[in-house]
């Protein structure tokens, strides 16, 4: 949904008046609040998604948000309930289908995704009263976020973050090194089910801001960017949150002052950050490679290993 129909407010380069102008509308204040909650929750959950290589499951859950919202509207309920119900239900289905296997079954996950997307299409066709069509569900909106919606987002977000804080360390262990973690008594399987449910809840949150098709803008891109920049777990988690917040708030500002949609801005800002991070890393690697080539000779690893053997 865009402001294209109305005249877009003018950007003045005076940040104080710009933000005063923007925040004089309660719907914009709500949009910034909701955006902040969603950015933080998605960043933290997404950091584990990237580490665990579960982007396909995340994609499926975000696709499932579409029939969820459309179905809820068709039944006359709020879209919010549709998002949460179907995302969490689909997370449980994926967890159940996976059975005892270590990795998710991508064929089954894809099957579930295709069927639910088709159902969503049917729901929007049945619900002719939806003036904008499926567009705002698919690509996100920041108009008309109510205060009660913000409260729901905050409560769910707080629960997700609290659970993640509780299971964070064993979940990291189970994600990086499942076999040893299991040997140490970490309930690897139970953790992966819990994480899928958290992922479902976070996806449902993000869908309401970025739309179901652009959930990855907050779920995957900030985490991927941070993990390109650093391999320190705590630092990269903090960076992920910062990047997601920046993309969301900058995106909201840009969408307010321009006639173009929010999802585009959030995604583009996040994507630009990723490209910059990749470019920066390749540059740094090229520099260190030329430096180490002059400093050390190849095969140093084998030499030190042989020295150890002789000792």
Partner 1 sequence: MNPMTKAREAVTHTSGHTAPGRRRGGHDTATGTGNEPVVALRAAAVRVGGRTLWSDVDLRIGAGEFTAVLGPNGVGKSTMVKVLLGALPTAAGEVRVLGARPGQANERIGYLPQRRSFDAHLRVRGVDVVRMGLDGDRWGIPLPFPSARRRTDRARVDEVIELVGASAYAHRPIGQCSGGEQQRLLIAQALVRRPELLLLDEPLDSLDLPNQSGVAALIGRICHQEGVSVVMVAHDVNPILHHLDQVIYLAEGGAATGTPAEVITSETLTRLYGTPVEVLRTSAGGLVVVGRPEPPAVHTDRHEIPGESA
Torsion of CA 250, 251, 252, 255, to 10 degrees: 120
Q: Which is nearer to partner 1, 294 or 308 (CB)?
A: 308
Contact window for partner 1 (CB under 8 A) among 1-9, 115-123, 200-208, 299-307: 299-307
Among 49, 58, 172, 255, binds partner 1 (CB under 8 A): 172
Which residues 48-107 are close enough to bind partner 1 by CB under 8 A?
51, 53
Half-sphere exposure of 56 (CA within 13 A, CB side): 14
Distance CA 220, CA 284 (A): 23
Number of H helices, E strands in the chain: 14, 0
Angle value at C-alpha 267, between 153 and 125, nearest 5 degrees? 70
Stretch that binds partner 1, among 81-89, 146-154, 203-211, 230-238 (CB under 8 A): 230-238
The Cα–Cα gap between 86 and 70 comes to: 11
By CB under 8 A, residue 118 contacts partner 1: no
Neighbour-count burial for 184-198, b at 16+ CB within 10 Å, e otherwise: eebebbebbbbbbbb
CB 84 to partner 1: min, Å: 25
Which parts of 232-261 interact with partner 1 (CB under 8 A)? 232-234, 236
CB of 286 to partner 1, least distance (A): 15
Q: Does 167 bind partner 1 (CB under 8 A)?
A: yes
169 makes contact with partner 1 (CB under 8 A): yes
Burial of 180 (0-12, 13-18, 19+ CB in 10 A): exposed
Window 1-40: contact mask with partner 1 (x via CB under 8 A): ----------------------------------------
Residue 238 CB, shortest distance to partner 1, in Å, is 9
Task: Pull the structure tokens for residue 258.
Answer: 């321009």
Q: Which stretch binds partner 1 (CB under 8 A): 29-37, 60-68, 83-91, 165-173?
A: 165-173
Rounded (to 5) percent helix, strand, coil in the chain:
80, 0, 20
Residues with Cβ < 8 Å from 99, sequence gap 6 or more? 105
Number of Cβ atoms within 10 Å of the Cβ of 166: 11
Complex with partner 1: residue 4 or 306, whichever CB lies closer:
306
Give the interface segment with partner 1, choosing from 70-78, 92-100, 163-171, 199-207 (CB under 8 A).
163-171
Nearest-angstrom CA–CA distance, 46 and 184:
26
**Does 179 participate in binding partner 1 (rule CB under 8 A)?**
yes
Site string for partner 1, 184-213 (x = CB under 8 A): xxx---------------------------
CB 39 within 8 A of CB 91: no
**Nearest distance, CB of residue 165 and partner 1, angstroms:** 5
Given the rule CB under 8 A, which residues bind partner 1? 51, 53, 165-170, 172-173, 176-177, 179-181, 183-186, 227-228, 230-234, 236, 301-302, 304-306, 308-309, 311
């Amino acid at each position: 949904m865009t402001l294209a129909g109305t005249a877009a407010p003018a950007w003045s380069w005076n940040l104080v008046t710009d933000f005063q102008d923007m925040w004089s509308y309660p719907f914009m204040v709500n949009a910034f609040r909701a955006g902040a909650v969603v950015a933080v929750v998605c960043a933290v959950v997404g950091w584990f998604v990237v580490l665990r290589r579960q982007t396909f499951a995340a994609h499926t859950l975000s696709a499932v948000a579409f029939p969820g919202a459309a179905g809820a509207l068709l039944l006359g309920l709020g879209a919010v309930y549709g998002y949460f119900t179907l995302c969490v239900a689909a997370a449980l289905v994926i967890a159940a289908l996976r059975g005892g296997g270590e990795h998710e079954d991508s064929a089954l996950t894809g099957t579930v995704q295709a069927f639910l997307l088709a159902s969503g299409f049917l729901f929007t066709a049945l619900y002719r009263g939806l003036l904008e069509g499926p567009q705002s569900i698919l690509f996100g909106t920041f108009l008309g976020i109510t205060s009660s919606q913000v409260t729901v987002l905050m409560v769910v977000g707080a629960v997700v973050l609290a659970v993640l804080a509780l299971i964070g360390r064993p979940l990291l262990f189970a994600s990086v090194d499942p076999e040893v973690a299991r040997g140490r008594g970490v309930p690897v399987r139970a953790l992966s089910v819990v994480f899928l449910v958290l992922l479902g809840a976070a996806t449902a949150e993000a869908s309401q801001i970025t739309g179901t098709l652009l959930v990855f803008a907050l779920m995957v891109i900030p985490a991927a960017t941070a993990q390109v920049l650093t391999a320190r777990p705590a630092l990269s988690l903090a960076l992920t949150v910062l990047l997601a917040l920046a993309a969301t708030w900058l995106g909201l500002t840009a969408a307010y002052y321009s006639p173009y949609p929010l999802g585009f801005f959030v995604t583009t800002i996040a994507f630009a950050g990723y490209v910059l991070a990749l470019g920066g890393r390749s540059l740094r690697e090229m520099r260190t490679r030329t430096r180490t080539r002059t400093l050390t000779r190849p095969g140093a690893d084998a030499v030190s290993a042989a020295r150890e053997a002789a000792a």
